[in-house]
Amino acid sequence: QGLKPIVSTESPALVFGTTTKLASDLPATDSFLGKNKVPDLQKLFQKADGLPVHLKRGVPDKLLYRTTMALTIGGTIYCLVALYMASQPRNQ
């Protein structure tokens, strides 16, 4: 009778029935990518106008910056008040 092979010599069944697509088979991507905005943004962010990078795009950046700073300061004050109240002994 002899030894039988442990590993099957048959190829395994396909997990997925479809094959992969080649890059040449895919549709052109120009229609949904649009214009490359990187050169325009590089000109904007590298301009020497004295503004920090996080404020270069104008009003939306200023609004986000000021909102973040207000929430940070408000959260710090809230934490300090909570710590102060937690440190006081309770009256029984």
| CATH of 37-87 among 4.10.91.10, 1.10.8.60, 3.10.180.10, 3.40.50.300 | 4.10.91.10
Average pLDDT over residues 14-37: 68
Rounded to a whole number of angstroms, the distance between the first and last alpha carbons of the chain is 90
The set of long-range contacts for 17-26, using a CB threshold of 8 Å and a minimum separation of 24, is none
- pLDDT at site 22: 64
Which residue shows structure tokens 């099957």?
8
Mind listing the pLDDT tens digit for each residue in 56-87?
888 999 999 999 999 999 999 999 999 999 99
Consecutive H or E run containing 44? helix 38-46
Decide if 65 contacts 54 (C-beta within 8 A): yes
Position with higher pLDDT, 36 vs 10: 36
Task: Give pLDDT tens digits for 30-42.
Answer: 566 788 889 998 9
| Ranges of each domain in the chain | 37-87
- Please check whether residue 62 is in contact with residue 55, taking contact to mean a CB–CB distance below 8 angstroms: yes
